């Protein structure tokens, strides 16, 4: 069991390495639990966690990809303070688990977002985030 702590949250991973250089989250029931201030935010069951990190902006933004049995995927990540511009291929749902930032979406003004809030990004778009405090997020790729 690997325990990761930080910013009023913790994650438990039951890990089993497979030959595809990925990590399977397994036990009698595979699971990943994300907690924030003592309350379960989400639980993902029967998933595969890609071992290689997604690292952007010199390591200031990083995430891990979770793949689901139905073919969908999410990334769980962390952003240090700074300004970052991203491009999307698919529509995305960005859930900010903890932290504070401002987001500039296409055709909109800057919007303040804090932990517990979310925003949608359209497909084939560019958006910018000004991260004010270290921020934990979950990005869902919508189809």
CATH number for the domain that contains residue 70: 2.60.120.10
pLDDT, residue 42, reads: 61
pLDDT, residue 46, reads: 85
Cα radius of gyration (the chain)? 15
pLDDT, residue 43, reads: 75
Q: What is the DSSP letter of 96?
A: E
Number of domains in the chain: 1
pLDDT, residue 5, reads: 36
The range of the structural domain enclosing residue 62 comes to 2-141
Q: Flag residues of the chain having pLDDT under 70.
A: 1-42
Bridge partners, 42 (sequence order): 34
Whole-Å CA distances, 128 to 6, 49, 53, 69, 100: 25, 27, 21, 31, 14
Name the phi and psi angles at 91, rounded to 5.
-60, 150
Q: What is the reported pTM?
A: 0.72
Per the CB < 8 A criterion, the answer to whether 88 and 94 are in contact is no
pLDDT, residue 1, reads: 30
């Amino acid at each position: 069991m690997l325990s990761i702590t930080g910013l009023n949250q913790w994650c438990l991973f039951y890990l089993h390495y497979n030959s595809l250089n990925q990590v399977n989250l397994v036990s009698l029931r595979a699971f990943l639990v994300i907690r924030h201030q003592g309350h379960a935010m989400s639980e993902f069951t029967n998933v595969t966690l890609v071992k290689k990190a997604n690292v952007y902006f010199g390591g200031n933004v990083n995430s891990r990809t979770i793949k689901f049995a139905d073919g969908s995927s999410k990334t769980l990540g962390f952003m240090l303070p700074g300004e970052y511009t991203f491009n999307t291929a698919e529509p995305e749902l960005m859930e900010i688990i903890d932290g504070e930032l401002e987001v500039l979406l296409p055709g909109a003004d800057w919007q303040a977002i804090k932990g517990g809030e979310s925003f949608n990004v359209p497909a084939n778009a560019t958006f910018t985030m000004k991260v004010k405090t270290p921020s934990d997020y979950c990005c869902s790729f919508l189809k």
